Structure 1
Amino acid sequence: EWLMSASSPTGPAFEGAQISAGMRAAPGAIERVRIDRDSGRANFRVIGDERWSNDWDVNATSAIAGKPEYLAAGICGSGIIEVVAELFLAGILQADGRFNPGHSSDRLVWEGRRGAYILATPEQTANGQPLYVTQDDVRAIQLAKAALYAGAKLLMKRAGIATVDRIILAGAFGSYIDPLYALVLGLIPDCDPHHIVAVGNAAGDGARIALLNRSRRREAQELAHTVRYVETAVAEDFQDEFVGAIHIPHASDPYPHLADILPAPIEVAEPVAQRRRIRNR
């Protein structure tokens, strides 16, 4: 048996930082997103309310009548992963991460050549302003996911592995990632979604085990000396892997487990006749 490890410079985008409407996972944060394939409109769920936004009645006087517990205050890490993946599946985003100028959804707005997507309308937000997913938001997620994928791909190459049979997502954040959307985004290499599992705060669990069990603590100390660490910062092929991974899900690496759901490549079309402009926020 052997172990290899690497660290990827993903930055804080998956924690809601560097995202225009990003926030920590707190009540009111959009955590789940589905986009209608015909209208391009979003149906979302916020932390603190189990109902989806399509079931809200913002004019109701009680939760029983449909009044939401919390209006949308921002979007957290799991939400931004899902919305970018859903935008791609709906054809609103192209594989290179740019908004599709040929899409006719009234939720797609433009400022010059830069697009943005209205995730939540003013009636659905806590501040009464539209909640946008901007081109810069998409780019921040692309750069973060490309770094993570490139690190995983380097480990696979160094180990002589072409495919993976199982992926374990550790950390509290990993518990809230939908494996299917992690694949669609290209956050991780292709794998059977049923073999992608979350184990929660593995570091915390390991620390408690080491604290309470001397033999396991010695085992951990010995293991630390045998793990082969791949330094991504100095790896000559990291940049090549990184560039390919910027595309959604990837510029060239196959995703056979997504064959039935990935959209056909979008042909660059002329912009729709009348572009809707981004409102001043």
Structure 2
Amino acid sequence: MKFCPKCGEKVEGMKFCPECGCKIEDTSNKDEKEVVDSTTITIDNQKIETPHSKKKPRIGCIIGLIIIALFIFGVVVGINEMSKNPEKYETTQENTADTEGYMDLAIQTLQTYNPDANIHIMDYKEWEVDGIIYIQSTFDTGSDIDHEFLIRCPKDGTQVFILQVDGDTIFYNQDDEIEYMDNVGKSTTQNKAETKERAKTVSSTKEQHTTASITPHKQNLIIGMWEGDWISGGYIEFQFLDNGEFYCSTYYDGSSNSTNGTYWVEDNNINLDTGEIYPVQSVQNDLLKLETYEGVYELHAVSV
């Protein structure tokens, strides 16, 4: 229903007021204007939130809070699980060895004192003791001397390369530091040149003593098997034969090392062709006392 804005006369459907002649404007498109979207309604230029628009933000907030709560719960559960079983989540370096690189180093070292030898690998084996991987191989240099290398690979990833020339063992660690160790555990730090010279001396000495010079009386006293502790946690066995040969085995840190060669007794000393000399402090039927770098070793007789 429309009325004249000037005199108030009913003017429904008219363009002019019949009473006063006032022009009546068509306001049918302006009375109510609605603009509807997903969240608001606009009526006469006023925005009114609909019930739907109020519910949607609330639902979004609730979902967001649930997601945050689940994330926090997962973090707490994960931390608790890691604290109970740390070994399952521990990141460690792979227990691997640069076998090819160490073999090349071994061959190069052997070639320094066997320049004319055709060096090749005879055998290869790998085993594990107490979590430490051992890789070992024997090299053929065309002589009667055995040359071996051993790689120790502990759990922490460090690798130790060991080149062994009969009773002498040369250690190469990953920093290229070298340590010489004889068959009874005496070690001295040497540089590469000194170590290679030592290896050449051992090789030459081994070749020269194909037969031993034995002092009969002293030799008869020490013939047999002897064994005893030589360092903390270490164990050694010596066997002296009447033909001038000796065999020695050491056991330490879950591994063993064996060597053999010839020996002779002279001036109350046991001389090994691997370069070691052991003064005999005393020898009885069941006890042999030898003077060494580390002190006096007491070796007990063993029936064989």
More contact order relative to length (CA 8 Å, sep ≥ 6): 1
Which structure would you say has the larger Rg? 2
**Is the TM value for this pair above 0.5?**
no
TM-score normalised by the chain length of structure 1: 0.22
By percentage of residues, which structure has more strand? 2
